């Protein structure tokens, strides 16, 4: 930590003690004060609390309130000090954009929940939506149980109606805000336990006239599936008419990266439940997902390959995946390339799991994989991600059971004649 302030000190500039964050010892850029009266740089204290600490770093007193109050006076003093020393190479710190005021969020929520004057409700929800889009910090302020629960109630005011009358437009605006927030298990169940709410989501994601409304519905479907943490709930969501078909249609969209990303994320979340994998295969998910792999960022490519692996585990899934790539040889080469790609280690492991299913007992396809360089990639995965415990059937903590797919694939290929390897 002292090394982080050395450049200024070496330049003959000593940072005043009270301008340094007690955690990082660096010049504070966004000083905030806690309930204990101590002041820290926002990034440092937020990181401290995010790791589960519930005490003040300096006083060690238990935190009774986790509110961070911007210390504007100290920030201005620091900025003035930076300006006074700019001839020595000190740059003025910019005025940080403050997170949304919780009292403003509560006020907007009260206006949005009003039972009359639709224009005022829509305006309040649009303001909430704008705040949520601005930053992660704003979303953290907005994403309280009170706010999420209220948004759920507003979003489903129209029941199963798809084309809402003008007076009920707050429902669509609330859905748009909800699409940017995670849901807890309780909130997810509040949606999934109501058939009319699931029907509304299914109708919206499948055939709403607005692409934005379809994408928002898909994002809420994913949030419900992830938050529920229950295979039964996920199966119930996936079994709702229109849900899986609508997600597949979004994944197939050309020229709309957000639609593709949200569609694939929703499919992955639902396919964690075995009952939904057959539904996804029947709806054409295999071709939709494999057809978009080359367009996805690392985290989304990981989910796409995980979805491909899950689809390969059900009847007809392997055949659908192979057909999506235009044949067995093409599928094998594509999966080997995915293993060698720049995506995450976990993405490579999911590719290995899918490849294991695609190869099956076919020696001809195994030879195609060897010719494509799979052995070298497997050795890198096994040596880099697995331990002796994985060899025995369990995975190390940092690499859950994924590395087992690589090991099994490696063992299978070792059965080929040495001349081929």
What confidence score (pLDDT) does residue 396 get? 36
Mean pLDDT, rounded, for 179-192: 94
Cβ 322 vs Cβ 345: under 8 Å: no
Band (pLDDT 50/70/90 cuts) for residue 340 is confident
Cβ 316 vs Cβ 310: under 8 Å: no
Q: Range with the lowest mean pLDDT among 201-205, 257-261, 362-366?
A: 362-366
Closest CA to 246 of 290, 278, 291, 216: 216
pLDDT at 35 > cutoff 70: yes
Rounded Cα distance between 299 and 208, Å, is 28
Where are any strands of DSSP class E within 124-229? none
Judged by DSSP in three states, 69 sits in strand
What is the 3 state secondary structure string of 10-48?
HCCCCCCHHHECCCCCCECCCEEECCCCCEEEHHHHHHH
Rounded Cα distance between 237 and 283, Å, is 15
Band (pLDDT 50/70/90 cuts) for residue 388 is very low
Residues in the chain, how many? Answer: 421
Question: Which tokens sit at 211?
Answer: 């692409």
Mean pLDDT, rounded, for 169-196: 94
Band (pLDDT 50/70/90 cuts) for residue 162 is low
What confidence score (pLDDT) does residue 225 get? 96
Domains and CATH numbers, the chain: 17-88 (3.30.40.10), 99-181 (no CATH)
Closest CA to 318 of 329, 330, 331: 331
Rounded Cα distance between 310 and 407, Å, is 18
Cβ 386 vs Cβ 395: under 8 Å: yes
Q: How many CB atoms lie within 10 A of CB 279?
A: 20
Band (pLDDT 50/70/90 cuts) for residue 296 is confident
Rounded Cα distance between 144 and 142, Å, is 6
Q: Which of 41-50, 137-146, 282-291 has the highest mean pLDDT?
A: 282-291
Mean pLDDT, rounded, for 42-60: 91
What confidence score (pLDDT) does residue 127 get? 95
Rounded Cα distance between 246 and 237, Å, is 12
Band (pLDDT 50/70/90 cuts) for residue 11 is low
What confidence score (pLDDT) does residue 392 get? 39
Torsional class of 15: left (φ above 0), alpha (ψ -120 to 50), beta (otherwise):
beta
Rounded Cα distance between 266 and 237, Å, is 11
Rounded Cα distance between 50 and 28, Å, is 19
Cβ 92 vs Cβ 79: under 8 Å: yes
Residues with Cβ within 8 Å of 76's Cβ and at least 6 positions away in sequence, in order, are none
The pTM score is 0.77
Q: Which of 85-99, 274-288, 339-353, 384-398 has the highest mean pLDDT?
A: 274-288
Rounded Cα distance between 252 and 206, Å, is 13
Per DSSP, the chain holds a count of helices (H) and strands (E) of 24, 3
User: How does the average pLDDT of the chain come out, rounded?
Assistant: 85
Judged by DSSP in three states, 55 sits in strand
- Note the maximum CA span of the chain: 78
pLDDT at 335 > cutoff 70: yes
Q: What does the pLDDT look like over 116-131, one tens digit per residue?
A: 778 889 999 999 999 9
Cβ 230 vs Cβ 278: under 8 Å: no
What confidence score (pLDDT) does residue 168 get? 66
The continuous run of DSSP H or E covering 122 comes out as helix 118-134
> Strands of 31-33's sheet, edge to edge?
39-41, 31-33, 69-70
Q: What does the pLDDT look like over 53-104, one tens digit per residue?
A: 899 999 999 998 888 899 999 999 999 999 998 888 888 888 888 888 889 9
Rounded Cα distance between 299 and 264, Å, is 11
pLDDT at 401 > cutoff 60: no
pLDDT at 417 > cutoff 60: no
């Amino acid at each position: 930590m002292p090394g982080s302030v050395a450049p200024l000190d070496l330049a003959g500039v000593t940072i005043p003690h009270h301008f340094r964050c007690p955690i990082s010892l660096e010049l504070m850029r966004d000083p905030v004060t806690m309930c204990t009266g101590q002041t820290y740089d926002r990034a440092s204290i937020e990181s401290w609390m995010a790791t589960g600490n519930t005490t003040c770093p300096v006083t060690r007193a238990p935190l009774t309130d986790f509110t961070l109050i911007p210390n504007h006076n100290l920030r201005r003093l620091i900025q003035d000090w930076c300006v006074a020393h700019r001839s020595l190479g000190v740059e003025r710190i910019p005025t940080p954009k403050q997170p949304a005021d919780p009292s403003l969020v509560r006020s907007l929520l009260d206006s949005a929940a009003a039972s009359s004057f639709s224009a005022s409700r829509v305006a309040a929800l649009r303001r909430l939506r704008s705040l949520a889009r601005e930053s992660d910090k704003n979303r953290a302020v907005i994403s309280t149980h009170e706010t999420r629960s209220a948004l759920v109630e507003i979003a489903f005011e129209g029941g199963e109606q798809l084309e809402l009358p003008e007076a009920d437009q707050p429902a669509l605006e609330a859905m748009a805000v909800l699409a940017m927030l995670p849901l807890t298990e309780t909130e997810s169940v509040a949606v999934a336990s109501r058939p009319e709410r699931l029907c509304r989501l299914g109708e919206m994601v499948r055939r709403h006239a607005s692409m934005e409304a379809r994408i928002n519905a898909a994002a809420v479907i994913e949030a419900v599936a992830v938050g529920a943490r229950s295979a039964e709930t996920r199966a119930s969501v996936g079994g709702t008419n229109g849900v899986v078909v609508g997600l597949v249609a979004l994944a197939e969209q050309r020229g709309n990266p957000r639609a593709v990303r949200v569609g694939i994320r929703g499919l992955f979340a639902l396919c964690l439940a075995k009952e939904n994998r057959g539904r996804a295969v029947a709806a054409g998910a295999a071709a939709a997902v494999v057809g978009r792999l080359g367009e996805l960022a690392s985290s989304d490519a990981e989910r796409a390959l995980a979805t491909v692996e899950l689809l390969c585990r059900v009847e007809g899934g392997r055949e659908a995946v192979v057909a999506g790539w235009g044949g067995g040889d093409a599928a094998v080469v594509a999966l080997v390339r995915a293993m060698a790609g720049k995506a995450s280690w976990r993405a490579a492991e999911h590719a290995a799991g899918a490849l294991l299913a695609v190869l099956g007992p076919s020696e001809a396809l195994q030879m195609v994989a060897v010719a494509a360089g799979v052995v070298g990639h497997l050795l890198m995965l096994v040596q880099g991600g697995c331990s002796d415990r994985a060899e025995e059937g369990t995975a190390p903590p940092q690499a859950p059971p994924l590395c087992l797919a690589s090991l099994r694939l490696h063992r299978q290929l070792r059965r080929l004649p040495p001349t081929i390897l």
